[in-house]
Amino acid sequence: MEPAGLRVALRIWVALVLAFLFIPIALIVLYAFNSSTIESWPIPGFTLHWFSVAWNDQQVRGALLLSLRVGLISMAIALVLGSAVAYAVHKFTFFGREAISFLLVLPLALPGIITGIALNSLFAFTGTQLGTLTIVIGHATFCIVVVFNNIIARLRRLPGSLAEASMDLGARGWQTLLRVTLPMTATALVSGALLAFALSFDEVIVTVFTAGAQNTLPLWIFGAIRLGQQLPEVNAVVTVVIALTLIPVVIAARVAGAGAITRSARPGPASRAAVRKLSAGA
C-alpha cells in the first residue's frame, strides 16, 4: 500500500502538470470575452463582441471554409489510403513489409519543417502551382500515418479465428473483409478519421510551405499575431479553433477508448452474424 504522503505528492504533481498545460489555454478563452482591446488582468468586463467581429470578417470566414474543406478532403484521402495499406500490411507477408511500415510512419516522426520544405521543393520541381491541392497533399502525408497507425494497432489486437473461419466456409477475401474485418475495425476507422481531421485543421508548419497565397485559419491566426493586430479578434478565433479541434478528438477518444479496443478484440455481434451467415450458405 502506498504511503499517504506519496499519494498527496503525486496528486500535487499531476495538478501542477495540468495547470502548466491548460492555464495558458484558459487565459486565451477568457481574453476572447474581454470587453477591452488591451489584454490586462483582471479583465474589466465580458462581451461577445469579438466573436461577432470575427464572424463578419470575410478573411476569417474564407480561411475557416478553406480549413474545413482541406481537412475533410485530407481525411477522406487518408481514410482510403491509410486503411488500404494497413489491411495489406497486416494480411500479406512480402519482402519489404517492415520497411514499408517504417516509411509510412516517417512523415509523422520527421519535423514538420522538413516535410514542408521537401514538399515545396517537389512542387517547384514539377511546376505545380501552390494552392488548395498542394495543401491537401501536404496534410495527407501525415493524416495517412494517423489512420494507418490506428487501424494497424487494432488489427494486431484482433483474433484471426473469425477471418480464418469465414475463409474455411468458402468466403472470398473481399467478403471476409466486408463482413468480418470491417465491422471489427469500425471504431478504429472512425477515430482515425476524426484525429486526421483535427490534425489537418490546425496544421501550420507544413501549410506555410504548401499554401502559396491561400490562407487557412491557423495561417490567418499566425499572421495576425505576428503583426500584433486584431488581438481580441484573434483570441475569439482561437477559442473557436480550440472547440473545433477538441470535438473530433473527444469523439475519437470516446469511440476508440480502452473499452472500445477491448470490445473490438473480441468477436462482435456483426462479425459473429456474418460468420453464421457464411456457415448457413455453406
User: HEC states along 148-181?
Assistant: HHHHHHHHHHCCCHHHHHHHHCCCCHHHHHHHHH
pLDDT higher for 174 or 281?
Answer: 174
pLDDT at residue number 77: 92
Average per-residue pLDDT in the chain?
Answer: 77
Helix 161-168 vs helix 269-281: crossing angle, to nearest 10 = 20
Half-sphere exposure of 270 (CA within 13 A, CB side): 13
Closest CA to 141 of 222, 209, 191, 188: 209
Instruction: Give strand ranges (E) for the chain.
Output: none
Measured distance CA(173)–CA(181) in Å, rounded: 10
pLDDT reported for residue 181: 67
Cell match 474455411: residue? 168
What was the pLDDT predicted at 166? Answer: 61
**Is 70 exceeded by the pLDDT of residue 279?**
no
> What domains appear along the chain, each with residue ranges and CATH number?
58-281 (1.10.3720.10)
pTM (two decimals): 0.74
Helix (H) or strand (E) holding 56: none
pLDDT confidence tier of residue 74, bands split at 50, 70 and 90: very high
* Three-state secondary-structure class, residue 46: strand
